[in-house]
Structure 1
Amino acid sequence: MTTPFLTRRSLLAAGAGLSVAFMGRAASADEVQAGHKMIVVVCRGGLDGLSVSPPIGDADYAGLRRGIAIPPDAALRLDGTFSLHPSLAAIHAMAGQGEARIVPAMASPDRARSHFEAQDVLETGAAGVYATDSGWMNRALGAMGDRKVPALSVGATSPLILRGPVQTGAWSPGRASEKSPRLPGLLMDLYADDPLLGPAFAQGLETEAMARTALVGMAKGPPAGYAGGGLPGLQRQGQASAKRIGQTIAGFMTQPNGPQLVALSAEGFDTHANQGAAQGQLANRLLYLDSLAEGLRDGLGAEWSKTVVVFATEFGRTARINGTGGTDHGTGSTAILLGGGLKSGGIVGDWPTLRENALYEGRDTRPTVDSRALFKGLLRDHMGVDRKALDTTVFPDSADAPPILGLV
């Protein structure tokens, strides 16, 4: 559904030529958990949890995975059962400091294996497909009432998770501003007295300045040549670019009136063929996620202690390797939690094992954690969202998925 905000943002992008349109006022530090921040990265395509956090200690892992199993001597050990993929060295170092945990068997409540349907359920927070046209993160902003928490989407298109009636900002890495530097100011003068467009232009200009400040903090600025949705580094740039994007997002978040909630997409995890093991197609993609995480941590500095980052995907992949050296659409997958305020601990949720009789429908990792329960716990403990609103509005009819508390 088209909202007035989307119309204003489109007008700002097309008419004013701004690379950023930022909406909403920042809350004071004592209004939203003393300036706590939350970042959600949607890993699109179906991220293979059994490669992200290979259960090396599970007796059935190597036999199911065969040629794409992560060798024990290459895996980055977490405990007696789980390791991390060797591409996730920075995240592994965070785990060693108590700043990273895994949720190895998570899924949304709907068991769809269609990308479109599964992403819809993950991002809307509904119990079923196409039940609502707004994202749970946008509704969480609404549930914070008069606190007016600023939020930002990163990428050429705003992810569904952040779409809705509450105004949010948008930044697309590398998108050039209008050639005429006077045009935004002229449009601001033109619409200064308009009750609808005047504030929108003012906020857009404010965040254009915020973007420039964030980018000045980076020696080389944003990656060049980006034209597309999601995380550009994932398919077009190297690790250094992904790290710079993370640092630039952090630059937004550490400014006065900067966003406290951020959502972005990372593409390219649909590994049906030639997936690879310690090296290869998936390994390269995980390197970019690792670099993004490292950039966020480094850029946030002292604010890292107030930040939670979640990497989540629409579904996992089959436990068995397929005939083309890859994996097919599955169910349970791994979510990654990062942050300086994270409480130390082991895995989040139960591990169902990979025994034949434990696999979901005889083929997938059986989910033991409802994604809504994870997000609800973080929103309650970290962002101070009311429990009733979480059960009824943010995640409709979700009282049967109680929040996982005590992670932060």
Structure 2
Amino acid sequence: MDRRVFIKNGSLALLSLGFAPQFISKTVLAARSRQKVLVTIFQRGAVDGLNMIVPYGEEWYYKVRPSIGVARPGQEAGAVDLDGFFGIHPSMSPLADLFHRNELAIVHACGSPDPTRSHFDAQDYMESGTPGVKATRDGWLNRYLHAREHADATPFRAVALTTQLPRTLQGNAPALAIAQVGQFGLRAGNQTDMMQSGFESQYAAAADKVLG
């Protein structure tokens, strides 16, 4: 994924902070002081793993994919070499540098142990983290947040850049869905200004603790 596209679609470009409520701006900027931040991207739909991370060193790859296989490194539209056996699709070439700097790990040929042929069930199992169990109400990320709760935790500890809270973050632990940072705010009728002012004062005094 193009980093610039991700930032733009996620509405976290610095320009957007100028239009966000002050306490939201302070929350986002407070993240700079944090050393560990987990970012998860769930791509809904399907992906051809063998054409994304190409086993160009395996002859059978080209025997069974004579027309759709990605060419070897050095050839036209060929894969970008990773380790002499695997390569990455040329459209994802910026990630190769991260791999060579040991800042990116690729877990290949993995998936759910549940044999369902339903795309929707498989997607739900990935987000709940309980393959084969449809009754699970919370997502795996929310269970993690719940297991690691602490006194300073706030809803801004977990933020989804979507219009609705994704399945992974649904559960008892607090989390927020913010599709557009600039449009995020409090809605409390004729008390809105007072409530927003109170939040801004609170986070101005403790911005370094906002993300929990």
Match of 1:94 in 2: 98
2:137 and 2:171 in contact (8 A); partners too: yes
Question: Hey, what's the Cα distance between the residues in 1 that align with 2:121 and 2:160?
Answer: 21
Question: Hey, what's the Cα distance between the residues in 2 that align with 1:112 and 1:258?
Answer: 41
Aligned residues: 177
One-letter identity of the residue aligned with 2:112: S
Match of 1:126 in 2: 130
Matched residue of 1:161: which SS?
helix
Classify 1:176/1:50 alpha carbon distance in 2 versus 1 (closer, same or farther; 3 Å). same
Classify 1:57/1:259 alpha carbon distance in 2 versus 1 (closer, same or farther; 3 Å). farther
2:141 and 2:168 in contact (8 A); partners too: yes
Higher helix fraction (1 or 2): 2
Match of 1:326 in 2: none
One-letter identity of the residue aligned with 2:137: D
How far is the alpha carbon of 1:113 from its aligned partner?
2.8
List aligned pairs for 1:71-150, cutoff 5 A: 71-72=71-72, 73=75, 74-147=78-151, 148=153, 150=157
Question: Hey, what's the Cα distance between the residues in 2 that align with 1:129 and 1:87?
Answer: 36
How far is the alpha carbon of 1:63 from its aligned partner?
1.9
Matched, 1:58 2:58: yes
How far is the alpha carbon of 1:258 from its aligned partner?
5.5
How far is the alpha carbon of 1:145 from its aligned partner?
2.7
1:109 and 1:127 in contact (8 A); partners too: yes
Unmatched segments (≥5 aa) in structure 1: 1-17, 193-197, 211-254, 261-408
List aligned pairs for 1:182-331, cutoff 5 A: 186-188=190-192, 256-257=208-209, 259=211
Matched residue of 1:120: which SS?
helix
Question: Hey, what's the Cα distance between the residues in 2 that align with 1:127 and 1:59?
Answer: 33
Unmatched segments (≥5 aa) in structure 2: 1-19
Q: Percent identity?
A: 30
Classify 1:83/1:161 alpha carbon distance in 2 versus 1 (closer, same or farther; 3 Å). same
The RMSD of aligned alpha carbons is: 3.8
1:139 and 1:164 in contact (8 A); partners too: yes
Question: Hey, what's the Cα distance between the residues in 2 that align with 1:51 and 1:57?
Answer: 13
Matched residue of 1:104: which SS?
coil
Matched, 1:43 2:47: no
Higher strand fraction (1 or 2): 1
Classify 1:45/1:68 alpha carbon distance in 2 versus 1 (closer, same or farther; 3 Å). same
User: Over residues 48-81 of structure 1, what are the superposed CA-to-partner deviations in whole Å (9 max), with x where a residue is unaligned?
Assistant: 1111101111121112222221111211111132
One-letter identity of the residue aligned with 1:160: R
With the length of structure 1 as denominator, give the TM-score of the two structures: 0.38
